[in-house]
Structure 1
């Protein structure tokens, strides 16, 4: 797969239950993060599209698992954003059940990406999401978005804070990313494809 020239990227289904998950058998990379962390912009940048994933003016709008087929080789699975204050307890419980169903049963799930805002210390929800990945033995890439908002001289300080707060395991990779400058796009793709290749050979 040539990550610089992606010809096919489409949303296959917005699923709310396991019966709706795709049956293609392709490896799946799940994307999680706070409602305003820039997940849609991340997806659009990664696949060289402007509007494949819709960026919303209303954080927390995604209420389904959105499966994006990339080149018929893998899926990005966009899960509902968390940490949105206006979500009711009932909505949060529904979100939790949907996530547990997916994480506990989905054999195609090979990798998790946790998107955090590079400018800020990870929230309690970010820590819980990282721990959620680890609980289900999902390898994690931590991608710090909006890196263009931080001076290069401050990168180490911000990365150290994120690593310390999340207690990132030594085997989990960390990337800085900007949908504005496209920083990190190639590095993340290289790591995803290398990981999938290694996983398929295992």
Structure 2
């Protein structure tokens, strides 16, 4: 997809900080250090558009990005990172819930899991919540370039089994380095924003 204009809009911790626009929003949810920013950067063909932190748990706000005045990405704080105080975790949870429950612009969610590892209970909780809310969603297994061909099928099964994903649920592997899965993610985005 050719993009002419992508821009960072703002960081928010509460609804009063959210951008006021009519664009549909695609939220990116996942554990800390799972590759949300790298996925955004690969999709928009910009190396340092979304900030990639070397320290998991660094993203502590909802970060909004305008993509060609067609839709907005919303990078949610990563969940499940152990080395932050419980109070900070509670704040993140409240921020994420407030956005997901009440943001009328929300068109769908990309749930990102690390394809190398079994999804966590936090991933399962997020996935079950997406089902309960009946939100359009795509499950993405990142860092697939680090898997061998023989690991692809069993790792996919591991993801599907842990999250109890139905076989028809949209899923793709993704590599920020090689661009694997990029077309599949764009197809999902086009489907729910057009």
Does the CA-based 8 Å contact 1:139-1:172 persist in structure 2?
no
SS of 2:54's equivalent in the other structure is coil
**1:187 equivalent in structure 2:** 184
The Cα shift of 1:155 comes to 1.3
The Cα shift of 1:98 comes to 1.0
SS of 1:87's equivalent in the other structure is coil
Instruction: Tell me, yes or no, if structure 1 residue 119 matches structure 2 residue 116.
Output: yes
Q: Deviations over 1:142-178 (max 9, x none)?
A: 0000111112232111111101100124553000000
**1:49 equivalent in structure 2:** 46
SS of 1:81's equivalent in the other structure is coil
**1:132 equivalent in structure 2:** 129
Match of 2:81 among 70, 77, 84: 84
SS of 1:82's equivalent in the other structure is coil
**1:31 equivalent in structure 2:** 28
Match of 1:156 among 153, 157, 170: 153
Instruction: Tell me, yes or no, if structure 1 residue 173 matches structure 2 residue 170.
Output: yes
The Cα shift of 1:107 comes to 1.1
Q: What is the alpha-carbon distance in structure 2 between the residues aligned to residue 138 and residue 170 of structure 1?
A: 17
Does the CA-based 8 Å contact 2:30-2:111 persist in structure 1?
yes
| Structure 1 runs, 4 residues or longer, greater than 6 Å off | none
User: Please, which runs of 5 or more residues in structure 1 have no aligned partner?
Assistant: 198-202
SS of 2:112's equivalent in the other structure is strand
Q: What is the alpha-carbon distance in structure 1 between the residues aligned to residue 8 and residue 168 of structure 2?
A: 31
Which region of structure 1 is more displaced relative to structure 2, 39-48 or 16-25? 16-25
TM-score, normalization by structure 2: 0.95
Q: How many residues are paired up? A: 194
User: Please, which runs of 5 or more residues in structure 2 have no aligned partner?
Assistant: none
SS of 1:25's equivalent in the other structure is coil
